[in-house]
Amino acid sequence: MAAPVLREPTYFILAALLDGPLHGYAVAQSARELSGGAVDPTAGTLYGALDRLVGQGLVEVDREEIVSGRRRRYHRLSDRGREVLVDEAARLRAAAEVVQRRAAGVNPSPSLPLQRKARLA
């Protein structure tokens, strides 16, 4: 199965879950902090993203708790989710290096690992 393409909100939601199981509000807060405020999901956006990630097998439902009368659902990163996230981070790092080398006037390497989908397919 090919790895899904991660958009920025999805990337930071998965990154938030690297710390362990989190409930929705904590995921939203963490994603906002990790992205420097660039990702600020609403409840609807976050729910849709988590639901889709669960469907793709990147995230799993951990448990539900009722805190102060509010029902909270905790999610955790699956092994596949961790693998996809780490791989995406490597791809972004390689992509950034291309620009940094060119900006510094160094010839870029012709075989950078930018073809993530081809490698994982």
Partner 1 sequence: MMNRLIDRLLLICLRAYPRTHRERDGEVLLSLAHELHAGGSSPWREGAGLVRGGVAERLRLRCRGLVGAPWRAALARLALPLAAVSLAVWVAGVGSVDPVPTPRALVPLSDAALPAVWIWLFARFAGPAGTEVGSLLVAALFVLAAFVVIWCALRRRHDPVGATLSAIVLAIAAPAGVVLLPSLLPYDGAWDGVGIAALVAAGVLAPIACAALVGCGSAGSTSV
Provide the binding-site residues for partner 1, judged by CB under 8 A. 24-25, 28-29, 40-48, 51, 64, 70-73
C-beta of 33 vs 79, nearer to partner 1: 33
C-beta of 26 vs 94, nearer to partner 1: 26
C-beta of 44 vs 110, nearer to partner 1: 44
- The CB-of-24 to partner 1 minimum distance in angstroms stands at 4
- The CB-of-80 to partner 1 minimum distance in angstroms stands at 21
- The CB-of-111 to partner 1 minimum distance in angstroms stands at 38
- The CB-of-19 to partner 1 minimum distance in angstroms stands at 18
User: What does the alpha-carbon distance between residue 59 and residue 22 come to, in Å, rounded to a whole number?
Assistant: 11
DSSP letter for each residue of 24-90: HHHHHHHHHHHTTTS----HHHHHHHHHHHHHHTSEEEEEEEEETTEEEEEEEE-HHHHHHHHHHHH
**Four-point Cα dihedral 112, 114, 116, 117, nearest 10:** -120
